[in-house]
Amino acid sequence: MGIYVSETVGGVADNAVSVAELAAEQYNGALVDDAGTAFPAAFLAAVATQASSAANYSGETASAADSLAIPITAPLCLKTTGADAEALTLADGTFVGQKITIQLDVDGGGDGTLTPATSTTVATIVFADAGDLATLEWRGGTSGWVLLGTCDLAGIGGPVYTLP
């Protein structure tokens, strides 16, 4: 199903709308589906919010030793652990389909045990050695974060995870 703008610009039909135009609500006319039915305003607002969030989601963040909340503002988080054990948290995602990869970049001696706020596939993930890596995807609702996979860039064994 496509999203089209039912409008005329300068006497010419203009049916194209970009994600940026949708997010900024910079279009003239009604948004309609393939059958010409207008989309409800609430649906358009949700699409615009998700399009804007996804379009601005890139790069990487660093998480210092003893910083317990994993930032969800970028798809890659490079974590440093301190000398003591750390109880790491992962807040709910901001848009469906959001992915985050968490990598233990610098092992300060203590393990980092991650507990997602909402997840039906994983209870905890323990990052113990530099190179431990886990990738999760936000599915929203009661599913929450879904563990897509783990690996170990250093070849030692990878993070250990527990099921709910």
pLDDT band, very low/low/confident/very high, at 3 (cuts 50, 70, 90): very low
Share of the chain above pLDDT 70, in %: 65
Distances (CA, A) of 4 to 21, 25, 28, 31: 12, 13, 11, 6
Higher pLDDT, 59 or 1: 59
Share of the chain above pLDDT 90, in %: 54
pLDDT digits (tens, 9 = 90+) for 113-122: 999 999 999 9
pLDDT digits (tens, 9 = 90+) for 28-63: 455 555 666 666 666 556 656 655 566 666 778 888
pLDDT digits (tens, 9 = 90+) for 64-97: 888 899 999 999 999 999 999 999 999 999 999 9
**19: phi then psi, degrees, rounded to nearest 5:** -60, -40
pLDDT band, very low/low/confident/very high, at 8 (cuts 50, 70, 90): very low
Strand order from edge to edge, sheet including 112-116: 86-90, 112-116, 124-127, 160-162
Residue 1: how many other CB atoms lie within 10 Å: 5
Please say if the pLDDT value at position 6 is more than 80: no
Model confidence, pTM: 0.68
Distance CA 14, CA 28 (A): 9
SS (H, E, C) the chain: CCCEEECEECCEECCCCCHHHHHHCCCCCEEECCCCCECCHHHHHHHHHHHHHHHCCCCEEEECCCCCECCCCCCEEEEECCCCCEEEEECCCCCCCCEEEEEEEECCCCCEEEEECCECCCCEEEECCCCEEEEEEECCCCCEEEEEEEEECCCCCCCEEECC
Please say if the pLDDT value at position 108 is more than 70: yes
